[in-house]
Amino acid sequence: MTTPAPPPYQPAHGLLTGRAAVVTAAAGAGIGGATARRLLEEGARVLVSDAHARRLKETEAHLTAEFGADRVAALPCDVTDETRVGALFDLAEQHHGRLDIVVNNAGLGGTADLADMTDEQWSTVLDVTLNGTFRCTRAALRRMRAAGTGGVVVNNASVLGWRAQRGQAHYAAAKAGVMALTRCAAMEAAGYGVRVNAVAPSLALHPHLARVTTPELLAELTSREAFGRPAEPWEVANVIVFLASGYSSYLTGEVLSVSSRHP
C-alpha cells in the first residue's frame, strides 16, 4: 500500500499581523519550529526559545534571514528553571513591546515500563512536560493580566493524555496534566480576556522523533492513523495558529485533537 502524500502547504492569510508571540522548544524541524514559522508567516513577531542553544542559534539565523531581525528574537531557556522562564518573558516584552501569544511546546518523552521506571525518569519527564508548561503559563498570565489587553496561551498536549500506550506512563500522566491545567487556567484567565487552549497531536513525524523511536514502532503507530500517514508538523502548527487567531475568539479551555487516528 502506498503511503498517501500530505496536502499542499497552506498559504498565509495575515491572521496574526501585529501580534507578538513566544514559542518554547522552537529549534529544529518539529512542531515548535513549524509553529514559529507559521506565526511569522501570519504576520506575528516571534521570540523563539529552546534548551538547545546551538540549534536555537541556527533556527534564529534561518528565521531572521527570511523574516527580518525586527520580527525574530531568540533566548535559550530551560523551562525547569523559574529564573530563566522569567527572563524569557521579560525579554518578550522588552523586545516586542507586548505579549499576545504564548505557545508552550516544550516537552520530554521516554519509554520505560512502570515497574522498571526510576523516580528520576518519572520526575524528569513531569518537570519538563507538565511543570514547565505550568511555569510558562503562570509567567504569561501574570504579564497578560497586568497589561489588560488580553492574549492567548496554546499548550501542546498529546493524545496520550487520553489513550494508553505501554511504556508511556510518565509522559501520558504529564500530558493529561497539561490538559487539566489548560482547562483550569482558562476558567481563571477568562476574567481578564485571556484564552487558554491546547492541541493534542497523535503522530507528527520529524527528524528528532525518527531518531528516538524504532522504525517498527513508527510503522505500528502510522498504521493506526486513518489517513495512513503521520501528520506533518506544519499541519499541527496550523491548528495552533487557528487557536491563536481571532477565528477562535469564543474558544477557551478546550483540547483539540490533531489526529486522524482511529481506536
For residue 179, give the H/E element and its range: helix 169-189
Cell representation of residue 38: 507559521
Spatial CB neighbours of 5, under 8 Å, sequence gap ≥ 6: 229
Active-site entry in 171, 192, 247, 250: 171
Catalytic-residue membership of 9: no
Q: How far apart are CA 96 and CA 118, in angstroms?
A: 42
Q: How far apart are CA 32 and CA 29, in angstroms?
A: 8
Q: How far apart are CA 136 and CA 217, in angstroms?
A: 32
CB 60 within 8 A of CB 46: no
Q: Annotated active-site positions, please?
A: 171
